Structure 1
């Protein structure tokens, strides 16, 4: 096969070269085999715009060449059109693996792979039935995209047999209106409450064996774990006292299938639902894949398993329709929206925040036509929307009520707990919290309050909407959402008008300019000006580029006066909104026998939305502002003022309030109402001290003591021989404050490992400094280097590439460790730039005082080290080295590592030799 021909006569590539980019430059492989090298800069931009090369992930390539953009044929765009709702790692090797092509091993082979992949994709289109409705729809979309300037328009139309055709306007409108082809959501009768029959350990072991299948590796630890978890599925004996199991399972135990076995049995036997909550969207995807073992048939799995996220993660069909309406007048938008239309027709559940939506599509197309089409601002019209019967969110909600297993995330579960229930006010009774060590942080985020410019402006936008704000925003205000539910001349309409007028006291468009320029409008903006002034007056290093925070008390006189004014202004919004919600609720009662289902649903949703989106946050802010004059903050809380900056640019300012112990409200709102809780992780305990003290510390951090119920503890050790498979090195002769020394250490260690290396940093600035010094040498050595905050890719995509590319290297912040699940040789070295101590901010200061001072710092740090170390060995046969470059690596943190794995204090040269030997 040449670079431009195909077995199919209908398929031909444009006669352009293929581009592969490395640090500092790129290589063009022309169709005749000529190789042309490119340096970055304006000369490269001019050349690339002239030849419009084949490329994989144009934004990433542009970033590496130091360009903002260049004209190209991005093979990923073609992949997204031909194979929508399918993922591939966005590299030539990733394309090759997914498409069954030879995996390239050199730069020239990577370039050829781009051409072969593009030809194979066009061939897929050429064999579609020419008269099929789906083929006609694809032709119409490709035509609209070609008119919008899509580089692939001509080749795609030729492959589809539509070259030279001009589809009628009606065909184009049908192709863009993809929502009409979606199945409708049907109403079903409510379900009876679930039963309470328990699951015996022997039954869980039998279900586990069935899930593993014949010939599976025997893992007694996994069966023991499944048996222990069964206790959470016993019937509750007292109200407000759930059955609680705290289960620590070492890496390799197989805890996912271990808790799926009893959870699925309980759900089937009792015709109920178990919610399995994990920490990140990546982990939700992994868990969803594991459930293929339980339900191998896709249709059965669709009935029994639902991946549930917040509504802001799902594509809004009304937003999509409004965006599609612009294609007629703005044809350049047809490229992005055409690819989105292809995805909508193929997606499993409309999850635009993960699921089957490739994260790199947002990199390629931009935020607005992709994730920007989700309902991120709570503007849903509910049953007033014409798309309600096809709505992805409604489908997920209804399926979750009937599913046996719901795969959620901690953020959703906690937010719903804070708001008093799910979207329809139902409350699950059985939970499994996987990655349970993150429960504290999730509760902290859900139960906190922030009277900041960004959050207050968001509430104003939710209330007032775009109709009064101007601009191109699709924001729909409360007035539009409530249309048809109230008499336009009645009391409710008057209350609405009063609330919307009062909402002008919240920050409006262009608030950042006004806050910095002394031209604030409204009570809240004047308050934020005073907050900003107090922060700048009292913070150390106020002129630097970093975010700042200061204590609230004693408040400056201007802050105190403006706080009183804010409390009064917020009351003027809250009072009419509460009255409005009360009138809507009264209508539900007064007209109970005449209201149709759609109107009742709208009324219930509107009452709930007003309460949750406006009354709750505004009332909390009102109390915070009114309490500024108190000599002490409210008991159990810590408050502070903050000015948020990103690289020196001010992005937010405001007053913050957090629970010192956020597991207290979590226990009251969710824990005590549950019937059974499993909290599980590989890193519940930090390993320091006696066993009893480590359990007590874990229970305290998870808030289990607030439940008033006995906790069943279970610990199942890892089956891996860490002493034989791993080494932990503390490098003693690298100055952590010298970027050149740190970069040289990373370079030497990464090269000694031959790639497969993850570098973790506790500050973004240090990551970027090391990357700039490291990238050219690693790329020259044939080791691809990727970096969070540097490459034009989201972190999920970067991790996927890292997993696929066995000899790649990845730099990320300390937080990356939680999303990395990379078995095999793709991860064989972890290097920390310095000890990941907790950030010494005002909130941590309060918690540190409550939970043991320096011992609390050590405990959190050991847990972080333990989590990071756990990434090295994911399955039998994995090997790896963990390196800490910080000479100030205290020995007392060594209990973070498995028994028998001690910290070895070595110089850099010896560390390099050990890494090289470990790989040999």
Structure 2
């Protein structure tokens, strides 16, 4: 029998607020009354964080349906809207916002009803114990749940007892040398696409060309490299999974498929079901591998469950523990943990449940043999397909090459981001946040810090008692680490009271940045180049170098002693102890290289510039609040270390993307992918998109908006979204303008039944925002760079893309150096064309898609408009004309004579227009 639900339900949107009584009465109320009721009366809501934002209050303590859904159906996803929840529960969706409030009560009863029928509830196991723990934390839903779950349906074991242990496996033998036959590849492709799929010649030629990346290489350091550009609609994913899976089967080897975005990782994971339909076999043969910071740390979770977390954070820990019983792989970021769950708790502890500080104790952890991270790492050793990301693959490739076990076959999808990924991976930063993390790793928690994180002395106590030299090295490292910044360092620097040589260095960096940075950057991050440093900064660098060298010496000594202990093999060195020491050696090696890079940066201060690197000083800030301070070093050309550490040790590499060349010849793609640094030349593959862009899309450059007028910009977005009836992706180059536009138009659109969502405004993660947008054809979404690339929303849900202006690159120190080396304005133009092409690529995702791309930039140079696919009409129009064309689309693009026609995405040039645009371009930055 279901319990009574004597709670009203509140549904708040920008268009209005509705309150439903338990008896079924619905009425609209004002924001003031809603806020007052929220403070006094428990109410059912859908996403309390969003509801609080809509009401303009700091917090909302209600009965959140999403929390209840996460309890009833852990590791399941539902779009967090009334309509999305209705579909997840097989209920009729509410027809309007007013009735959505009444639906919330119906949905709550449906979820509770599922718990009342345990024989029909797949996730019943463990629910009783979880409910008891949540009741002690006074979780709002614990009362109704407790009336249903009177006792466990069966003997329930906790998460830590229920998780299976992973097993050690023999090292995989070297893959066999095979050469794929073209017909074999085509047969495998036919199996993957299915017998009913239409044969696409472009996909067939793409797949067979990609097979050459899996041929035996001709010599050491000479990998078989294929650069493949495949236009949207080719079926790129299956086009490389066909030869990859065939080679893995025939050679008994692993193929690492790397992406830049988590969205593509999820898509790839789904596509592999075509290769291995059986779930059990697929679990063995396909592994999604991410960095440690993505996975649930069982030791941190145990600490949270035993009182390490308080209030809302403790409730989140209990819900995550329940999810842990049903998760596929423990991936908390982009895996089967609903992306909206951590956002319901704002900053209440989700990051503390992962290994974000690199403080893993490895085999010293009581849950080591059940660890999700270790399980994924071991599973990847014997998998056929490993799906990872660019940064992780680069790090592992370097490590594995040093160990003589290189990653032999690599596929880089979203290859146009390979340069950016290498730029981040091979960079160095000596900052306050980096140094304090190193201090914590060595010393462990200090002062009143909570948690199970332990320093070297605790993790290696057995080594210290066995090996005197090792123990002395641990003590010396801990003593040297006290010279690194400690808690409260930012406040001390703000008051000019630094402690220790590193803090004094950072204080000098801060003073230099504030003295040299432009005042126009006030409120945001500041930076200046490291050339001609002030004497105070040079003077501070020498003691900092000495402190870092004093830390490096015992770290190197300890690494040597640990290796000696491993070689001695004492009686206490069992499998777990060996793994723990191996982990410590790996950590010491990695951090030793980091400290070495810091010393190299400081040693060059005041000396001649190294032409291979770009150095600068920075104060990272958000809305005027300082977050970090330090020195930064990037390769001028990061494709050089990419080639040395990733490409050369490999046997075969496929780099692919829909925009790999960015409309240029292959020399640009080769430079960005690093193949210019190889002794052998890559193969080139180019397969154009089968879509008829000329009849399915139109580019409109709006010419009558005043630059910098936010009110006018907001009005333009409102009218464009209204004309399209929603289905709009709005892209911004500045968060401040995004927020300003959203504040002006969200309520007006909502009153017309057109919901508007926005990054940096709605307390929802980006992936969930895209899911909501994809789910509702009348919704629109505003965002920044993260939405310009990697977002796949085919069909009616996306029919208009609006960019606020030309996406010129920010004039940072690093950008200025690369611009000077890359041809000046030609380098900038290349970046802008790539961004325009990527943004346009969001519009047409399937053969039936139709839509408009609107660029709100009167001064857009004509030379940039060849970024769009050939044949697409590119028109300069007024805002009124753009709105008329969009409103008249009705599912098909019409090509009527415009007021000014620029051409069809060609290099047509209107004399004077580009020159006038060039005069204003820097204002857009």
Task: Output the TM-score relative to the length of structure 2.
Answer: 0.93
1:144 aligns with 2:133: yes
The 1:136–1:236 alpha-carbon spacing in structure 2 relative to 1, beyond 3 Å, is closer
Matches within 5 A, 1:604-643: 604-612=582-590, 614-630=591-607, 632-643=608-619
Partner of 1:557: 535
Q: Once the 2 structures are TM-superposed, how far is the Cα of residue 725 of structure 1 from its aligned partner?
A: 0.5
Partner of 1:386: 366
Q: Once the 2 structures are TM-superposed, how far is the Cα of residue 14 of structure 1 from its aligned partner?
A: 1.4
Partner of 2:644: 668
The 1:775–1:305 alpha-carbon spacing in structure 2 relative to 1, beyond 3 Å, is same
Matches within 5 A, 1:421-460: 426-460=405-439
> What is the distance in 2 between the residues matched to 1:31 and 1:417?
59
User: Which of 799, 805, 818 lines up with 2:776 in the alignment?
Assistant: 805
Matches within 5 A, 1:402-421: 402-419=382-399
Task: Provide the secondary structure at the position in 2 that maps to 1:918.
Answer: coil
Q: Once the 2 structures are TM-superposed, how far is the Cα of residue 333 of structure 1 from its aligned partner?
A: 5.4
> What is the distance in 2 between the residues matched to 1:551 and 1:214?
59
Partner of 2:295: 314
1:375 aligns with 2:352: no
Contact 2:397 / 2:407 at 8 angstroms: preserved in 1? Answer: no
Task: Provide the secondary structure at the position in 2 that maps to 1:575.
Answer: helix
- For residues 22-80 of structure 1, what are the alpha-carbon distances to aligned partners after superposition, in whole Å with 9 as ceiling and x for unaligned? 11642112233322323335x43221233322111110111121111122111111110
1:782 aligns with 2:771: no
Partner of 1:76: 66
Matches within 5 A, 1:167-178: 177-178=158-159
User: Which of 596, 602, 625 lines up with 2:574 in the alignment?
Assistant: 596
Partner of 1:323: 304
> What is the distance in 1 between the residues matched to 2:4 and 2:450?
38
Q: Once the 2 structures are TM-superposed, how far is the Cα of residue 592 of structure 1 from its aligned partner?
A: 8.8
The 1:748–1:634 alpha-carbon spacing in structure 2 relative to 1, beyond 3 Å, is same
> What is the distance in 1 between the residues matched to 2:733 and 2:321?
40
> What is the distance in 1 between the residues matched to 2:4 and 2:240?
51
Partner of 1:743: 714
Q: Once the 2 structures are TM-superposed, how far is the Cα of residue 334 of structure 1 from its aligned partner?
A: 4.8
1:659 aligns with 2:635: yes
Partner of 2:911: none
User: Which of 657, 660, 670 lines up with 1:681 in the alignment?
Assistant: 657
Task: Provide the secondary structure at the position in 1 that maps to 2:457.
Answer: helix
Q: Once the 2 structures are TM-superposed, how far is the Cα of residue 597 of structure 1 from its aligned partner?
A: 2.6
- For residues 8-31 of structure 1, what are the alpha-carbon distances to aligned partners after superposition, in whole Å with 9 as ceiling and x for unaligned? xx2245122222211164211223
- For residues 836-877 of structure 1, what are the alpha-carbon distances to aligned partners after superposition, in whole Å with 9 as ceiling and x for unaligned? 111111101111112211111111111111111111111110
Partner of 1:837: 808
Contact 2:300 / 2:451 at 8 angstroms: preserved in 1? Answer: no
The 1:710–1:758 alpha-carbon spacing in structure 2 relative to 1, beyond 3 Å, is same
Task: Provide the secondary structure at the position in 1 that maps to 2:184.
Answer: helix
Task: Output the TM-score relative to the length of structure 1.
Answer: 0.94
Partner of 2:185: 204
Partner of 1:260: 241
The 1:592–1:279 alpha-carbon spacing in structure 2 relative to 1, beyond 3 Å, is farther
Structure 2 unaligned residues grouped into runs of 5+: 892-925
The 1:524–1:289 alpha-carbon spacing in structure 2 relative to 1, beyond 3 Å, is same
Partner of 1:892: 863
User: Which of 105, 119, 122 lines up with 2:109 in the alignment?
Assistant: 119
Contact 1:457 / 1:507 at 8 angstroms: preserved in 2? Answer: yes
Q: Once the 2 structures are TM-superposed, how far is the Cα of residue 814 of structure 1 from its aligned partner?
A: 2.6
Q: Once the 2 structures are TM-superposed, how far is the Cα of residue 101 of structure 1 from its aligned partner?
A: 1.7
User: Which of 180, 185, 188 lines up with 2:166 in the alignment?
Assistant: 185
Contact 1:40 / 1:67 at 8 angstroms: preserved in 2? Answer: no
Contact 2:527 / 2:617 at 8 angstroms: preserved in 1? Answer: yes
Structure 1 unaligned residues grouped into runs of 5+: 1-9, 689-693
The 1:484–1:53 alpha-carbon spacing in structure 2 relative to 1, beyond 3 Å, is same
Partner of 2:917: none
Task: Provide the secondary structure at the position in 1 that maps to 2:99.
Answer: helix
User: Which of 86, 97, 105 lines up with 2:76 in the alignment?
Assistant: 86
User: Which of 417, 436, 443 lines up with 1:464 in the alignment?
Assistant: 443
Task: Provide the secondary structure at the position in 2 that maps to 1:500.
Answer: helix
Partner of 2:471: 493
Task: Provide the secondary structure at the position in 2 that maps to 1:487.
Answer: helix
The 1:917–1:13 alpha-carbon spacing in structure 2 relative to 1, beyond 3 Å, is farther
Partner of 2:54: 64
Aligned residues, how many? 891
- For residues 263-311 of structure 1, what are the alpha-carbon distances to aligned partners after superposition, in whole Å with 9 as ceiling and x for unaligned? 0000000110000000111211111011111111111110100000011
The 1:330–1:834 alpha-carbon spacing in structure 2 relative to 1, beyond 3 Å, is closer
Partner of 1:98: 88
> What is the distance in 2 between the residues matched to 1:40 and 1:579?
64
Partner of 2:705: 734
Contact 1:379 / 1:481 at 8 angstroms: preserved in 2? Answer: no
Partner of 2:510: 532
1:348 aligns with 2:325: no
